[in-house]
Amino acid sequence: MNLLLKYLQKYGILLCNTNPDLPALEDIGCGWSDVTELIDRRELFYCKAFRKRTTYLSKETYYLLKEVRQKKPLTPPAQRIYAILENGAEVETGFIKAVSGLDRKAYREGFDFLLQNLYVTALRNGKPLNESWSTFLYAAAAEWEKRAPGPPPVENAAARLWEILSQTMTERQFRSLTGRSPQPPKPPFQQTNLTQLPPREFAPQNRQGPRSSR
């Protein structure tokens, strides 16, 4: 099994770049090819849901988070971009920017808003640029859902989400992600962050990590 998929199925969330909050891609010994493989297989939901950082969610975590988190209304730039994608389009960012007619600042703010609030995601890999970077074809989250059906609904989505994420997240981080406090109260756990080693099975393997996401 893809090591990244194995990690996500257990822990639910991973960040792209090294940071002081949560484990990141190269911390568990994975690289860009692992990301693109799972994006193409619709086993990973690409977004910026955690503190505006590039975030990888497992399929289960995405569907739980979608149910738990209150979605913000679209801003005008985000609405203009979303209108291009909401009918099933799969396009690269250059096309979206040209068709939207937005200036660079408004486009970036609008597109980041959509990624932060689970409106859009990377549907599949685009053009390879080098061994550690490539473009993506983006689509509305609803289009991703058609190709990646979720698990059966659970009685308490917030409790199940906390059960998964409490393995690596503090209560404060959970509130930052979801906008609500964990329920039930957090059980004892040892936080996995960058001041601690990742689980032995996900130890670094000297693989090249990705660049900053765009």
Q: In whole angstroms, give the CA distance from residue 121 to residue 100.
A: 17
DSSP the chain: --HHHHHHHHH-EEESS--SSS-BGGGGT--HHHHHHHHHTT-EEEEEEETTEEEEEEHHHHHHHHHHSPPPPPPHHHHHHHHHHTTS--B-HHHHHHHH---HHHHHHHHHHHHHTTSEEEEEEEEEEETTEEEEEEEEHHHHHHHSPPPPP-S-HHHHHHHHHTTT--HHHHHHHHSS--SSPPPP----STTSPPPGGG---SPPPPPSP-
Q: Looking at per-residue confidence, does 165 or 134 come out higher?
A: 165
What is the pTM for the complete model shown? 0.86
For position 28, what pLDDT does the model report? 97
Asked whether residue 96 carries a pLDDT value surpassing 70, the answer given is: yes
For position 60, what pLDDT does the model report? 98
For position 213, what pLDDT does the model report? 45
What are the phi and psi torsion angles at 174 (to 5°)?
-65, -45
pLDDT in tens, 145-200: 999 999 999 999 999 999 999 999 999 999 999 999 997 644 555 555 544 445 55
Q: What is the mean pLDDT of residues 130-140?
A: 88
Question: Among 27-41, 125-139, 152-166, which stretch is predicted with the lowest mean pLDDT?
Answer: 125-139
For position 183, what pLDDT does the model report? 77
Question: Among 100-114, 131-145, 193-207, which stretch is predicted with the lowest mean pLDDT?
Answer: 193-207
Q: Evaluate whether 134 touches 36 at the Cβ level (below 8 Å).
A: yes
For position 127, what pLDDT does the model report? 87
Q: Looking at per-residue confidence, does 154 or 129 come out higher?
A: 154
Place of tokens 């990742």: 198
For position 188, what pLDDT does the model report? 52
For position 214, what pLDDT does the model report? 44
In sequence order, what are the residues at sequence separation of 6 or more whose Cβ sits closer than 8 angstroms to the Cβ of residue 185?
none
Ordered structural domains, the chain, with CATH = 3-202 (1.10.10.10)
pLDDT in tens, 64-94: 999 999 999 999 999 999 999 999 999 999 9
Q: What is the CA radius of gyration of the chain?
A: 17
Tokens read off for 97: 């920017």
